[in-house]
C-alpha cells in the first residue's frame, strides 16, 4: 500500500511525497543474502555427512568419525559459497527471480568437487573419506542445492507478495518521469524490491522555483530517513541533468546512508540487450555508508564492555570529583547540555560542572584560557579531562561512542554547518568522548573557522579509515594527550 503525504511549499503549492507504510513483519533485503548463503552451506555440510554415513552403513561398515567429515563439508561449503557469492548469486534481487539457475549451480558445484578431489589427493586423506562416499556426495549435493534453491525462490515470492520481505528501508528520490519509467522487474533488479519509499521532485519549469521546491522535498526525505533509520538512498534522475544531481547529492550529505545514482532511461535502454541482469552494476555510488552493520556491531560491543568496565574502575574518582564540585561552588554536580549525535539526532550530554554558568541555548560562549567562569575545581577537572567521565553513561545508553568526533553545542553546530560543507559528515557516526582530532591536539575551543576546518578534516579521516585497531590506538594516544594537557582550559 502507498500513502500520499503532502507538504506546503513556500509558494503554497503542494509537493507530493509517497512512501510505503509499515508492516508488522519485515525482513531487510540484506538479511536474505546471509540466509541464502547459510542455506547452501548447511545443505552441502549435511549432504557430506549423510553421503558418507549412508554409504558406510549400506556397505555393512561402521559409522565413520564425524569430525573429519565436518571438516570436508565445511571446506566444500566455503569454496562453493565463496565462488557463488562473487557472481551475485545470493543477492536478494537474484534470489527473488523465478528462473532457477541450473547451469550456474551445476557448473560451480562440479568444479568445486574436482577441486576437493585434488586437495584430497595431495593431502592423502582418502583413508578418512572413502571414494564411494565421495561419489555419493558429489552426485547428491547438486540435487539438494537445486531443490533448496527452488524452495527458497517459492518462499521469497510468497514473502514478497505478503510484504514480509522488501526494501522498506530504501528511499528513492527522483524525477517523476524517470521513476514512472522504472518497471516493476527493473525496480526489483536495481533496488532489491519492487516497493520503495518514493519522494518525487518538483515538476516546475522555472529553474529557480524548481530548485527551492526540490530542497523542501529532499529535506522531507532526509527527515523520513532519520525517523525510519533507512539504509539506502536511490536517485532516479536523467544523467545529463548534472545540476539537479549535484543539488540532491549536496542535500543528502547530512544523512549517514549510502546513495546511488540509478541508470536513467537512456542508459537502461542501451544495456537492455547487453546484460540485463547486471544493471545494478551501472548505478553510480554518490555517497558511501561510513560503517557497515557488522562494523557498527563490533564498535558497539567494544563500547559497552569498556564503558561498563571504566565506570566500575573509576567509581572512586567519580565520587571524589562529585563531592569536590559540591563543596567548591553552588550548583548541580552534573552539567547537561543538548548536543547533536548520530544521524543529526539530539541527545543530552553529561559532564561534571566546571563553570559558574550553564549555557544551553542559541548563544553559547566557548571557554578560553584563564576564563573567569571556570571554578577552581573545574580547572583541575578540565586539565585532567575528568569532567568528561560522566559521558561513559552516555556511551552505555547508546548516545555516544568511546571514540568518535567530539559533539559540540547546538549553537556551534548550526554556525559551522553554514560555513563548512563537510561539517555535516561528522554526524555519520556516533560522537565520542575522545577522537582522532583530540589525540592529535585539536581539542578545546574553536575560535576561528580555520580551527573548525582542521578538526573536521581529522574527524572525516577517522570516519573514512575506521577500524577497531584505530580505536584502540586513539585510546592509547589519548592517555598521553591528557598528560600533556594541550588546549585544556
What CATH number did the domain enclosing 12 receive? 3.40.50
Residues 230 and 105 grouped into a single domain: no
What is the C-alpha to C-alpha distance for residues 93 and 170, in angstroms, rounded to an integer? 14
Q: Are residues 122 and 201 in the same domain?
A: no
Q: Give the other-Cβ count within 10 Å of 125's Cβ.
A: 13
Beta strands in 101-219 (DSSP E): 165-166, 170-174, 197-200
**Helix intervals (H) in 283-421:** 293-313, 315-328, 376-384, 391-397, 410-419
Taking a C-beta distance cutoff of 8 angstroms, is the pair 261, 284 a contact? yes
308 and 441, same domain (yes or no): yes
233 and 327 both lie in a single domain: no
Cβ count near 295 (within 10 Å): 15
Radius of gyration for the alpha carbons in the chain, expressed in angstroms and rounded: 29
Q: Is residue 36 assigned to a domain?
A: yes
Question: Could you count the other beta carbons within 10 Å of the beta carbon of residue 89?
Answer: 20
Residues 428/292, Cβ–Cβ less than 8 Å:
no
Q: Which three cell numbers stand for residue 151?
A: 524452495
The domain boundary, picked from 258, 287, 316, lies at 287
SS3 16: strand
Shared domain check, 447 and 337: yes
Cα–Cα dist 352/308, whole Å: 18
Question: Cα–Cα distance between 313 and 303 in angstroms, integer?
Answer: 15
Structural domain contains residue 339: yes
Q: Cβ atoms within 10 A of the Cβ of 49, count?
A: 17
Domain edge (last residue) among 287, 308, 332: 287
For residues 469 and 419, membership in a common domain is answered with: yes
Q: Is residue 135 part of a domain?
A: yes
Does residue 309 fall inside a structural domain?
yes
Residues 323 and 337 in one domain: yes
Measured CA to CA, the distance from residue 236 to residue 171 in angstroms comes to: 11
For residues 160 and 167, the answer to whether their CB atoms sit within 8 Å is no
| Co-location of 424 and 387 in the same domain | yes
| 236 and 174 in a common domain | yes
* Predicted model pTM: 0.60
* 46 phi, psi to nearest 5 deg: -65, -40
* Statement to judge: residues 341 and 419 lie in one domain: yes
Q: Ramachandran region of residue 368, left (φ > 0), alpha (ψ -120 to 50) or beta?
A: beta
> Do 446 and 328 fall into the same domain?
yes
The whole-angstrom separation of Cα 200 and Cα 198 is 6
Q: What is the pLDDT along the chain (489 residues), one digit of tens a residue?
A: 333 333 333 333 444 444 333 333 345 556 778 889 999 999 999 998 898 888 888 887 777 778 888 888 899 999 999 988 877 788 776 787 778 889 999 999 999 988 888 877 776 655 556 778 888 888 999 999 999 999 998 888 787 766 666 555 788 999 989 888 887 667 766 665 656 788 999 888 888 888 899 999 998 998 888 887 777 888 999 999 898 999 998 888 888 888 889 888 888 777 654 444 455 567 788 887 777 777 888 899 999 999 999 999 999 999 999 999 999 888 899 999 989 888 888 899 999 998 887 766 566 666 666 677 888 888 888 888 899 999 999 999 999 999 999 988 888 888 888 788 788 788 888 999 999 988 887 776 777 788 888 888 999 899 888 888 999 999 988 888 777 666 655
Nearest to 188 by CA among 86, 91, 259, 286: 91
Nearest alpha-carbon partner for 340 in 438, 426, 228: 426
Contact 29, 165 (CB under 8 A): yes
Number of domains in the chain: 3
In a domain, 489, yes or no: no
**φ, ψ of residue 294 in degrees (nearest 5):** -65, -40
Which pLDDT score, from 0 to 100, does residue 32 have?
79
**What is the total residue count of the chain?**
489
Same domain? For 157 and 179 the reply is no
pLDDT recorded at residue 389? 93
Beta bridge partners of 401: 432
Domain span including residue 73: 27-162
Amino acid at each position: 500500500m502507498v500513502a500520499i503525504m503532502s507538504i506546503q511549499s513556500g509558494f503554497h503549492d503542494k509537493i507530493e511525497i509517497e512512501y510505503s507504510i509499515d508492516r508488522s513483519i519485515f525482513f531487510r533485503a540484506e538479511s536474505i543474502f546471509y540466509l541464502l548463503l547459510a542455506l547452501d552451506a548447511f545443505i552441502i555440510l549435511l549432504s557430506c555427512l549423510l553421503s558418507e554415513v549412508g554409504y558406510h552403513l549400506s556397505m555393512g561398515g561402521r559409522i565413520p568419525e564425524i569430525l573429519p567429515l565436518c571438516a570436508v563439508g565445511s571446506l566444500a561449503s566455503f569454496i562453493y559459497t565463496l565462488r557463488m557469492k562473487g557472481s551475485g548469486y545470493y543477492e536478494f534481487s537474484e534470489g527473488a527471480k523465478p528462473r532457477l539457475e541450473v547451469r550456474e549451480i551445476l557448473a560451480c558445484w562440479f568444479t568445486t568437487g574436482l577441486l576437493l578431489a585434488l586437495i584430497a589427493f595431495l593431502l592423502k586423506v582418502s583413508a578418512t573419506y572413502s571414494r564411494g562416499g565421495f561419489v555419493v556426495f558429489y552426485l547428491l549435493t547438486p540435487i539438494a542445492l537445486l531443490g533448496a534453491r527452488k524452495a527458497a525462490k517459492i518462499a521469497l515470492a510468497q514473502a514478497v507478495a505478503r510484504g514480509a520481505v522488501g526494501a522498506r528501508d530504501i528511499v528513492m528520490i527522483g524525477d517523476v518521469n524517470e521513476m514512472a519509467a522504472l518497471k516493476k522487474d527493473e525496480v526489483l533488479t536495481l533496488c532489491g524490491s519492487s516497493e520503495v519509499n518514493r519522494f518525487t521532485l518538483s515538476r516546475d519549469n522555472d529553474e529557480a522555483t524548481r530548485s527551492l521546491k526540490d530542497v523542501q522535498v529532499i529535506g522531507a526525505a532526509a527527515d523520513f530517513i532519520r525517523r525510519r533509520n533507512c539504509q539506502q538512498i536511490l536517485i532516479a534522475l536523467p544523467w545529463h541533468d548534472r545540476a539537479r544531481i549535484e543539488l540532491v547529492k549536496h542535500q543528502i550529505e547530512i544523512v549517514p546512508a549510502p546513495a546511488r545514482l540509478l541508470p536513467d532511461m537512456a542508459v537502461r535502454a542501451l544495456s537492455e540487450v547487453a546484460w540485463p541482469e547486471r544493471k545494478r552494476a551501472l548505478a553510480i555510488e554518490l555517497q558511501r555508508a561510513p560503517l557497515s552493520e557488522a562494523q557498527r556491531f563490533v564498535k558497539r560491543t567494544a563500547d559497552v564492555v569498556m564503558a561498563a568496565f571504566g565506570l566500575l574502575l573509576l567509581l572512586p574518582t567519580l565520587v571524589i570529583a562529585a563531592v569536590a564540585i559540591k563543596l567548591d561552588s553552588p550548583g548541580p554536580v552534573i552539567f547537561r547540555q543538548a548536543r547533536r549525535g548520530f544521524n543529526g539526532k539530539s541527545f543530552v550530554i553529561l559532564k561534571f560542572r566546571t563553570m559558574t554558568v550553564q549555557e544551553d541555548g542559541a548563544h553559547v560562549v566557548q571557554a578560553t584560557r584563564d576564563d573567569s567562569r571556570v571554578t577552581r575545581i573545574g580547572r583541575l577537572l578540565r586539565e585532567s579531562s575528568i569532567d568528561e567521565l560522566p559521558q561513559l553513561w552516555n556511551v552505555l545508553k547508546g548516545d555516544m561512542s568511546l571514540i568518535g568526533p567530539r559533539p559540540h553545542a547546538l549553537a556551534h553546530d548550526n554556525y559551522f554547518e553554514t560555513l563548512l560543507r563537510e561539517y555535516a559528515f561528522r554526524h555519520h557516526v556516533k560522537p565520542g568522548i575522545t577522537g582522532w582530532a583530540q589525540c592529535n591536539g585539536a581539542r578545546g575551543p574553536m575560535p576561528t573557522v580555520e580551527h573548525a576546518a582542521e578538526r573536521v578534516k581529522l574527524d572525516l579521516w577517522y570516519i573514512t579509515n575506521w577500524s577497531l585497531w584505530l580505536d584502540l590506538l586513539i585510546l592509547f594516544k589519548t592517555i598521553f594527550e591528557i598528560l600533556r594537557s594541550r588546549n585544556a582550559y
